[in-house]
Structure 1
Amino acid sequence: MSLRLDGQTVFVTGAASGLGRQITTRAAGEGAFVVATDVDDDGGEQTVAEAEDAAAGAGGATYYHLDVTEADAFHDLVDAVAEERGLDGIVNNAGIGHPPNLAEDVSQSTLDYIIDVNVRGVWNGCQAALPHLKANDDGGAIVNVASLAAVLGMPQQSAYSLTKGAVLNYTRAVAAEAGRDGVRANAVCPGVVDTPLGSQVFAGMADDPEEGREKLARQYPLGRLGEPDDVAAPTCFLLSDEAAWITGHGLVIDGGFSSA
């Protein structure tokens, strides 16, 4: 694996499992020092252990507890990281879904919680990171994890679709605003990936989750669901200098689902 993130410091939220774990591990393996954060401390420490193994001395990782909805804590941690190590990139990955439900049946409390994590969490991350990224001589990169639901909208995933659409358009606004300061902002928009979050979709498709997984996989032209590294690899590309002229883009990673 190339060291295209060699020497960079990258901040990742929602790193305790799924996409966040794989992004952390992959980035460390590509030479970055990754600050992995989550509210699941056991999962976060396991992610760091896996990232250290993948880095094999090239990069590294450390873990901090962080609730992305707490703006002051987010700013304080990013400030501390930037002061100690500098900051080259942030991946705002933390997000939650909801069980399949008709739009009119989604409770207000569910909507509030999903907006708080999926939208406010990304807002807080960008606000905390932007001053430091703008201060870099070489600029910096933001990657926000949106979803295919941001592009297509998904039935029975109305609240989730609402928040991920907001993430995608907010990313474009940040890119347009911060580009002259050398900061790039992009989003990745994955289809269903085989992660704990994806299991909510499987459960809504059939009585047996495994049957739901197989049924959904057949809807993808490539014949399978996404794996975490299918998203982690393009995310690391967008963080790297190889993507130096890419900003304001929502990269759809969906095994051809949206073209079928």
Structure 2
Amino acid sequence: MDVKQKTIIVTGANGGMGLAVVHQLLNEGAQVVGCDLNRDQLDSIQHHQLSIYEGNLLDEDFVRRVFQETNDRCGKIDGLVNAAGIAQQAEPIENVSVETWENLMDINMKLLFLTCREAAKYMKAKQRGSIVNVASISAVRPRPGLQAYVASKGGAESFSRALAIELAENNVRVNTVHPGPCDTTMLEKFAAEGVDIEKAKDETFKKSVPLGKLLTPENIASSIIFLLSDQADMVTGAALNVDGGRGI
């Protein structure tokens, strides 16, 4: 897929899907800017086309600095991948605190707003670009007990669709990826309190996937890179289910 020489900013780049996206982009010859609260995994990559920003992506000043410095250094911003996000422990709605709700909305939605707002500014100036926001198949087929998470990811898809139609005249594409159950450390955070996560992987998460296995971060990353690439130049406003059939 043609992403060589493109400059791509990736949030949530230090682990799971975000880290897989960073690796694949670097392998394809892209200039990558990885952003996260921590950088230990990113530091192990040691690649001359990787720049790392460690900081809080809910901080407007930090977000502005990442985009401005990237544009000043590279002369353009071709793509943005929002892989940053948090999970919700499954629980009845009467047990969900306002703090839990607000934290999910901040990280799963406000972060998208802040980064997409900056990306739009630089992409409109060049009249090209691609944004990929990672949502969840739970936005399409919810599970009980994840009401706040589902709301945040459904909002991420709606926001992306609205942005896609707004930026279409500027040749900026905006798409969403809906991952299914993926074998990362985040998966265990969806389980209800006291559940054996290894047992849940086999008896709950894996069984919910018609193709019969958990996804890998690399499965998700390949789909994201396709949407960033020139091969997807007529794809915008789409929600791509990468879920082994769970959303059917």
* Fold conserved between structures, TM > 0.5: yes
Shift of 1:60: 2.4
Question: How far apart, in 2, do the equivalents of 1:218 and 1:92 lie?
Answer: 28
Instruction: Name the SS for the 2:247 alignment partner.
Output: helix
Shift of 1:219: 2.4
* 1:212 is aligned to 2:210: no
Q: Deviations over 1:191-211 (max 9, x none)?
A: 11111111223x439732111
> In the alignment, which residue of structure 1 is the partner of 2:106?
116
Q: Which runs of 5+ in 2 are unaligned?
A: none
Question: How far apart, in 1, do the equivalents of 2:244 and 2:194 lie?
Answer: 22
Question: How far apart, in 2, do the equivalents of 1:126 and 1:27 lie?
Answer: 20
Question: How far apart, in 1, do the equivalents of 2:155 and 2:55 lie?
Answer: 22
Q: Deviations over 1:19-44 (max 9, x none)?
A: 00001111111111110010012233
> In the alignment, which residue of structure 1 is the partner of 2:141?
152
1:228 to 217, 220, 235: 217
Map 1:45-84 onto structure 2 (within 5 A): 45-46=43-44, 48-49=45-46, 52=47, 60-84=49-73
* 1:95 is aligned to 2:93: no
Shift of 1:79: 1.1
Q: Deviations over 1:153-194 (max 9, x none)?
A: 221111110100000000000000001001000010111111
What percentage of residue pairs aligned between the two structures are identical? Answer: 33
Q: Which runs of 5+ in 1 are unaligned?
A: 53-58
With the length of structure 2 as denominator, give the TM-score of the two structures.
0.95
* 1:165 is aligned to 2:154: yes
The one-letter code sitting in structure 1 at the alignment partner of 2:4 is D
> In the alignment, which residue of structure 1 is the partner of 2:184?
195
Question: How far apart, in 2, do the equivalents of 1:109 and 1:90 lie?
Answer: 28
> In the alignment, which residue of structure 2 is the partner of 1:22?
20
Are the aligned partners of 1:9 and 1:88 in contact in 2 as well (CA < 8 Å)?
Answer: yes
Q: Deviations over 1:113-150 (max 9, x none)?
A: 1111111000001001111111115x000000111112
Q: Deviations over 1:78-111 (max 9, x none)?
A: 1110111021000011101121111221111111
Are the aligned partners of 1:175 and 1:186 in contact in 2 as well (CA < 8 Å)?
Answer: yes
Q: Which moved more, 1:167-176 or 1:150-159?
A: 150-159
With the length of structure 1 as denominator, give the TM-score of the two structures.
0.91
Instruction: Name the SS for the 1:218 alignment partner.
Output: helix
* 1:174 is aligned to 2:163: yes
Q: Deviations over 1:57-80 (max 9, x none)?
A: xx8212111311112210121111
Higher relative contact order (CA 8 A, sep 6+): 2
Are the aligned partners of 1:38 and 1:44 in contact in 2 as well (CA < 8 Å)?
Answer: no
Instruction: Name the SS for the 1:210 alignment partner.
Output: helix
Shift of 1:218: 2.1
Q: Which moved more, 1:26-35 or 1:37-46?
A: 37-46
Are the aligned partners of 2:89 and 2:193 in contact in 1 as well (CA < 8 Å)?
Answer: no
Question: How far apart, in 1, do the equivalents of 2:105 and 2:207 lie?
Answer: 31
Q: Root-mean-square deviation (CA), in Å?
A: 1.5
Question: How far apart, in 1, do the equivalents of 2:193 and 2:209 lie?
Answer: 15
> In the alignment, which residue of structure 1 is the partner of 2:94?
104
The one-letter code sitting in structure 2 at the alignment partner of 1:120 is K
* 1:135 is aligned to 2:125: yes
